[in-house]
Chains A and B, each alone.
Chain A
Amino acid sequence: MSKIHMRVYRGNSEGGQLKDYDVEVAEGMVVLDAIHNLQATQTSDLACRWNCKAGKCGSCSAEVNGKPRLMCMTRLNEFAEGETITVMPMKTFPIMKDLATDVSWNYEVNKRIPPFTPREGADWHWEQRDADRAQEFRKCIECFLCQDTCHVLREHDKKTSFAGPRFFARIASLEMHPIDGLDRTELLKDQHGIGLCNITRCCTEVCPESIRITDNAIIPMKERVVDKYYDPLRILWNKMTGK
């Protein structure tokens, strides 16, 4: 057992501040263990979400020393000895209390995405290689760290006109599904504002599931939007062939 120094944000919708704590820690612990330790021994009303503590549910998203991370997958031995560990709630979403934020906006966005709609008469036999791309995006555990770090939401607060990386990946998983018959490019361009993304890749950098959101979801989706709306030759061709 040794001690570490932590600063944890305490507050609610009216405001708050970082508070200092010394926490007992043991070998192999992660930041979430330290937070649990705090709850059990010093401040039982410290609010924080968590479920599986194994990096599979995406509940314990927070900002550890300024970086959006899952607390359950951030080992304490990553930090230098004597380093203060600062834990903040996600900045992009309104705070509820302490480390818990109101992420309901994400669920609203998801509702606005037309669900999986199989093509009529589709052949349900398809190969692994056709499943690969959709499966990558379906690894998403909805921790919303990509939404948190995306500057379009974080700094420019475009929540009314921009869906965010999580939902571009979700749309990509539907658009690249071999059986799905809907076309969501217009939605992507207008309602979900894919044009606001300037592909600065922070979403990919923070993804705990290592989904290559920018390269494999957003850029391919942008290219599909180009196909339909920005490529003059292609638009002409489509008009001529009546597509």
Chain B
Amino acid sequence: MSENYQSFEYDVLVIGAGGAGLRAAIEASAAGCKTALVCKSLLGKAHTVMAEGGIAAALATVDSRDSWRQHFSDTLIGGNFGNHWEMAEIHAKQAPDRVRELEKWGAVFDRTTDGKGNINVRHFGGHTYKRLAHVGDRTGLELIRTLQDKGVHSGIDVHMECTIYALLKDGDRIAGAYGYFRETGRPVLFKAKSIIVSTGGIGKLYSVNSNSWECTGDGFALAYLAGAELADMEYVQFHPTGMVWPPSVRGLLITEGVRGEGGVLKNNKGERFMFKYIPPKYQGKYAETEEEANAWFQKVVVEGQKEEGVKERKPPELMSRDVVARALWAEIKAGRGSEHGGVYLDIASRRSAEDIKKKLPSMYHQFKQLADVDITKVPMEVGPTCHYMMGGVKVNPQTQESTVKGLFAAGECSAGMHGSNRLGGNSLSDLVVFGKLAGEHAAAYAKNSSVPKIDESVLDGLNKEMNKPFENQGGEVSYAILADLQTAMEKGAGMYREESLLEGCLKDLASLKERLKKVSAEGNRLFNPGWHVALDLRNMLIVGEALARGAKERKESRGGHTRTDYTSYSKDFAKKRVVIRKKGEEMEVVQEDLPQVPAELEAELIKDGFLRLEVLKQIRGEAPAH
């Protein structure tokens, strides 16, 4: 059956309309390219809206000691040097300009209270100084609305509720994309000279996650199928503070801002346990006693003193997410968890009810409405939740181009920027910094290339694949497979990994793949979620497999990748990245050298006190970390 498909032609096609996609489309359009933006949901609903705490940029509006080098160093230390240093450098250097640019486009950030009327910044885990520009606890919404309003007046074509099922190629270069409109089920062909994938993360692979339904890893799978290489897929961030009760909201994010505003983590004995879990890389940087942490809190958070003059150090609740998540897990495992299997995050005893409602309004409402919990009176129960994929499409740090010509990636979809663990706030800045770069270079590429040819005969095959769930009679529904996939990932490739568990996970994924071949969809193609999930599952299984294979390959623990059978940093892996590519029908896993910070720059950073040599050695597995 040859479907009656709609057809469009563009210079640049952007898949995914979160922060990165929007920013890329704006840039490509500004460069004079005919640009289209495709999104699975309505415009402005992308997962970016859920970002709460802020956007990290060394604006130095509150703490004048801040600089791009400090931001760069924090990012590398937070990422345990698993980062592609060049991306981290570009990011740290360009983030302040991108933030100010957002303001010029109409974003209304919170202002400083010193009477100077600058953009205000707040504390977040792993950042040495106050660095997160924010709008209450809804920074992501502000970012996406600003870009959306800028975008709709930039002459970009937006195709909403449209899923891309496959990328098309002309020889070794990208040529277009084929998919369907979710509303009507009608197929659609986009011919494009260059394509940017900015489809976000993979949260929906896990049963406990903080992501929206869209986070099914489409961009990774599309790029992989088109021949692009993926990297660092084993690095998955589990955010320490997700809701744990009631079950229907399990995993829902509680912003790190709660800790930034003074919230503390306690176990069921009422003990502030984080002091026990300061890893060597953060030793000397964080408070070691409750008295010290409280004094810092009193001076910096309550009284608003300039940190420059405060001799006490930050509380350890403000360490990077991987460290805090592991500490939580250890407490829960040791039987010191809360009633419903989490730990307590207490802001009620630290701030006045009025302050809490003002600084954290959506957290207050989230708990009040969804859990009947008043966080101004009692502590929250929190536990780790799958939050972010550090890995993704392997890109050229300068251009964001993948290993396929004309295919670019930006945002959560691309790999390298965050290393093995992302710092809070670095994701929003990642979106705008690399979104812009991807847009710029995709436009440049499009301008210098001819219109690609598309072999329309492949479309028939794609139509058949897409239609198959309707032709499979009497099979199971997609939701059952999705639920089993989530369980398999949680069990086999969750926060803690182990050789045998990962092997089990890969086996589970293989059998799910078989089941997916026979999946059935009822009804017709008109707005049919059961059918949509059936098609998304192909991508999720690919991503799941890449993740598990990557995790199996990396025989060490680093940031978001924690193995119970290889518990420390390893010298053998410190300078390697795990790369995954398609070889025939098989998934090939190889280790590649990870580019290292140039010796000169490294020496300079050490000399100026941004990095410490002994920490570097520990992280590189050259000195014992414990």
Contacts and interface: CB of A to CB of B under 8 A. Distances in A.
Contact of B362 (A47, A49, A56): A56
Contacts of A107: 43, 152, 158, 160
Contacts of A124: 103-104
Given A40-B479, A139-B138, A141-B141, A26 B116 contact: no
Given A28-B246, A116-B149, A54 B41 contact: no
B448 interface: no
B276 interface: no
Interface in B234-282: 245-249, 252-253
Given A28-B249, A51-B49, A52-B45, 6 more contacts: A51-B45, A51-B47, A54-B366, A110-B149, A126-B117, A131-B108
B529 A125 contact: no
B124 interface: no
Interface of B: 41-47, 49-50, 103-106, 108-111, 113, 115-118, 120, 135-136, 138, 141-142, 145, 149-150, 152-153, 158, 160, 183, 212-214, 245-249, 252-253, 362, 365-366, 369-371, 477-480, 483, 521-524, 526-531, 533
B135 A128 contact: no
A131 B252 CA distance: 29
A23 interface: no
A27 interface: yes
Contact of B248 (A33, A52, A104): A33
A47 B108 contact: no
Given A28-B245, A125-B117, A98 B111 contact: no
Contacts of A135: 108, 110, 135-136
A107 to B, nearest CB: 7
A173 B116 CA distance: 23
Interface string A38-63: 01110111111111111111110000
A56 B106 contact: no
Nearest to A59: B45
Contacts, number: 170
Contacts of A29: 246, 248
A26 B136 CA distance: 33
**Which of B109, B141, B365, B524 counts the most chain A CB atoms within 10 A?**
B141
A177 B247 CA distance: 42
Given A56-B138, A107-B43, A126-B117, A131 B110 contact: yes
A153 interface: no
A54 B108 contact: no
8 contacts: A28-B249, A44-B530, A53-B212, A116-B105, A125-B116, A135-B135, A140-B145, A177-B108
Contact of B108 (A40, A48, A138): A138
A142 interface: yes
Given A116-B105, A142-B44, A177-B106, A126 B479 contact: no
Given A59-B45, A96-B183, A115-B150, A40 B50 contact: no
A145 B141 CA distance: 18
Contact of B370 (A73, A116, A141): A73
Nearest to A110: B152
Q: Which 7 A-B pairs have the closest CB atoms?
A: A28-B246, A44-B530, A116-B106, A45-B523, A125-B117, A40-B479, A47-B527
Nearest to A115: B153
Contact of B522 (A12, A27, A44): A44
A239 interface: no
Contact of B45 (A58, A96, A128, A180): A58
Contact of B212 (A28, A51, A131): A51
A10 B160 CA distance: 23
A44 B521 contact: yes
Interface in A68-101: 73, 75, 96-98, 100
A103 interface: yes
Nearest to B531: A45
Contacts of A52: 45, 47, 49-50, 212
A118 interface: yes
A115 B149 contact: yes
A44 B520 CA distance: 10
Given A44-B522, A52-B47, A54-B366, A28 B371 contact: yes
Contact of B478 (A44, A56, A73): A44
B527 A97 contact: yes
Question: What's the dominant secondary structure at chain A's contact region?
Answer: loop
B42 A59 contact: yes
Nearest to A111: B152
Given A51-B214, A110-B149, A138 B42 contact: no
Nearest to B154: A115
B153 A111 contact: yes
A225 interface: no
Contacts of B145: 138, 140
B521 A28 contact: no
Contacts of A110: 149, 152
A239 B362 CA distance: 47
A70 to B, nearest CB: 10
A73 B149 CA distance: 27
Contacts of B135: 135, 138
B247 A27 contact: yes
Contacts of A12: 526
Contacts of A118: 104
A39 B50 contact: no
B124 to A, nearest CB: 19
A55 B479 contact: no
B479 A56 contact: no
A51 B41 contact: yes
Given A40-B479, A100-B183, A131-B110, A73 B369 contact: yes
B202 to A, nearest CB: 16
Nearest to A32: B248
B237 to A, nearest CB: 18
Contact of A26 (B141, B247, B366): B247
A52 B138 CA distance: 13
Interface string A136-167: 00111110000000000000000000000000
A95 B177 CA distance: 28
A57 B145 CA distance: 11
A75 B370 contact: yes
Contacts of A120: none
A45 B529 contact: yes
Contact of A57 (B49, B153, B247): B49
Given A30-B370, A138-B142, A142-B44, A96 B527 contact: yes
Nearest to A46: B529
A103 B41 CA distance: 12
A140 B105 CA distance: 17
B213 A51 contact: yes
A104 B103 CA distance: 27
